[in-house]
Structure 1
């Protein structure tokens, strides 16, 4: 029986480490990050590929809303674009696509993520997970947790042990009033034959610092601890704790195996940071007509922005998001380094080895979202000033010659639930 690990994160609670399960966890010696980072530890990015421009009038190159990026055999790039899967060659040439908006077999009804394992692509749109071969032929379709489970799969990943989903129970509000509490996310294996879910490996709240306003609107407090899991090829699950540069690693049995910890100086939240946050929040309402209407309806500037600022944490969480490479290397976004940054400035990311060794720091453009780390490359989505999206591949410069990551994804050996 897999052990369920509940990570409770509360506003104002100090991060004291993930702890161990029955003494089984091993904590690596802290690897201290010295600020400012020395020049030899500063890495740079060189753009190698950009996909998304209208080429020779071919609209297949245009991307609408990127939901995921995976690398297939031979280096082909699989892009989940809204309700369609598009495949490009390693050189960025359009090869094929499949999928459309709908509820029938092979259709997608609001996609949430994709994953690739050897010769199979999995796409989830919440209640369903559909499996395709690399050419787009539908292999099977299952309901998350079964047709009457009430579960949705928010994200999906592949490991040597099977398909892993971030699942949660759907909630339905039958009467007007405040929204029900957000259900916890559960990391579980999914059986591709039946849709059945294994026992939870870990259970957590993605936004634990929510604020319920009188209007019923639920917002996240400033500088909340964003919790988002990642998995590597072996099936280990990585969970960050936010305020400390610390990631707990759990095996497929749900038992804590180790803690990867990078010590950093705590950064207090300053008035300048809060003022910058306030300006950014107010600027959201000026993006376009849709945002202006939404802000007026929710009284965003009058009610939500003041509540967000008033409930800001006293310390800046170190970890924003994590991206896990197949071999366990971590790309960790840093919330802040103690200085106020302009909204368009690059954001700092730390590259960390599986055992917690600090490899280097990368300044990543603010309008670039990393999706995949492969070899010396980082792939992700780029959004320009007009809202147009691209797939961009960067090469990381400044790495040691011995640094290399596997280029391919995982190869499934068994289905979950066995």
Structure 2
């Protein structure tokens, strides 16, 4: 295992891509009909069809490469082929959709024609039920991001972990685990940096797994498809401070996310997470989105991504030329396509606030949209 420590500046000058709009889809039709609720993930199959995971409506919207609505897959319910939650989406090489269902402790699989193909359940780990948040296929099995809770009277052990699972559901290997001991008698406190999920991860086309599990550090753990740690990539970075408004909003979100623990207290950091997204590209390089690059403050530049080569060297920065709302929008990149989900944060807060007066959190500036851009090299 090697540690690659990179300086703050890359080895080569940046490259710039222009975000050329191809199509957009509004969450509301002209007649007021709700087209989609909250899009939390985007996948693209080998034919170029686009799959939008709708966490709110618990369905998958399938669009053509041109953005035309083709069909939906599944719906909320308790019957065969229904979803109890929709937390993550993966499209395999045959075009089958795999959905992580946290609420049901399972994965559900569907054909490209929306036919249910059955479910898969992870075995208990440390005597606790495993609930998957995220899923990717790897050779011989699956990579999952999970949560487990093992209660013992007033005490409980909460685990967030990422691991490799066999096809039979058994755990092959934990890659990283965050363990939290809870004691209701002493009071429960969730600190953002110490109690977050292991949510910042991805896989490459060989089944390698990349993890950025630490809130405060620019550190990426690189595993092969057997779960062996091959490399740690580090980069010097500057912390990006949050505004008072951001701190207040993040605290409200964290508190709502932990409402299952009614007597718990929550606290958030004064600065943003160092690494916010990982993307293993087909050419073997790794794109890393950071707090610094998420709102770069450079005129005409929407986003700056750090690019690392396969050996872990900080090669260059990639600048996306266009417009996004760094606070509100969700961005997903697939090949030379960039998908922008507008008002994503506001929609998420509204969903968390369901059943309460959430009018102040409703997205402003019109109905949320999904916008697809072509990334065209400028220089």
Q: TM-score band, normalised by the shorter chain?
A: 0.7 to 0.9
**Cα distance in 1, alignment partners of residues 134 and 109 from structure 2:** 14
2:129 to 150, 173, 184: 150
**Cα distance in 2, alignment partners of residues 213 and 331 from structure 1:** 44
Instruction: Tell me if the contact between 1:80 and 1:114 (Cα under 8 Å) persists in the aligned partners.
Output: yes
**1:378 match:** 338
**1:361 match:** 319
SS at match of 2:123: coil
1:124 to 89, 92, 100: 100
Runs of 5+ unmatched residues, structure 2 = 344-362
Pairwise CA distance, 1:114? 1.2
**Cα distance in 1, alignment partners of residues 124 and 10 from structure 2:** 50
SS at match of 2:292: coil
1:232 aligns with 2:190: no
Structure 1 residues 348 and 213 mapped into 2: Cα distance closer, same or farther (>3 Å)?
A: farther
**1:8 match:** none
Structure 1 residues 228 and 42 mapped into 2: Cα distance closer, same or farther (>3 Å)?
A: same
Structure number with the higher strand fraction is: 2
TM-score scaled by length of structure 2: 0.72
**2:159 match:** 183
Runs of 5+ unmatched residues, structure 1 = 1-24, 401-418
Per mean C-alpha deviation after superposition, the further-off stretch among 212-221 and 135-144 is: 212-221
1:63 to 10, 13, 36: 36
2:170 to 184, 190, 197: 197
Structure 1 residues 29 and 203 mapped into 2: Cα distance closer, same or farther (>3 Å)?
A: closer
Q: How many residues align?
A: 341
Structure 1 residues 51 and 197 mapped into 2: Cα distance closer, same or farther (>3 Å)?
A: farther
SS at match of 2:19: strand
**1:416 match:** none
Structure 1 residues 224 and 361 mapped into 2: Cα distance closer, same or farther (>3 Å)?
A: farther
Structure 1 residues 27 and 214 mapped into 2: Cα distance closer, same or farther (>3 Å)?
A: closer
1:277-336 deviations in Å (ceiling 9; x for gaps)? x3223356999xxx99x99x9899xx85xx546xx57xx763233233355433322223
1:112 aligns with 2:78: no
1:280 aligns with 2:253: no
Structure 1 residues 391 and 75 mapped into 2: Cα distance closer, same or farther (>3 Å)?
A: same
Pairwise CA distance, 1:134? 0.5
1:349-382 deviations in Å (ceiling 9; x for gaps)? 32444344224234753132223422x2222422
TM-score scaled by length of structure 1: 0.66
Instruction: Tell me if the contact between 2:140 and 2:166 (Cα under 8 Å) persists in the aligned partners.
Output: no
Structure 1 residues 47 and 230 mapped into 2: Cα distance closer, same or farther (>3 Å)?
A: same
**Cα distance in 2, alignment partners of residues 327 and 162 from structure 1:** 24
**1:45 match:** 19
Structure 1 residues 53 and 116 mapped into 2: Cα distance closer, same or farther (>3 Å)?
A: same
1:251 aligns with 2:212: no
**Cα distance in 2, alignment partners of residues 317 and 164 from structure 1:** 23
Structure 1 residues 151 and 87 mapped into 2: Cα distance closer, same or farther (>3 Å)?
A: same
1:325 to 265, 281, 302: 281
How much is the aligned-residue C-alpha RMSD, in angstroms? 4.3
**Cα distance in 2, alignment partners of residues 88 and 129 from structure 1:** 22
Pairwise CA distance, 1:151? 1.2
Larger radius of gyration: 1
Structure 1 residues 368 and 317 mapped into 2: Cα distance closer, same or farther (>3 Å)?
A: closer
**2:238 match:** 267
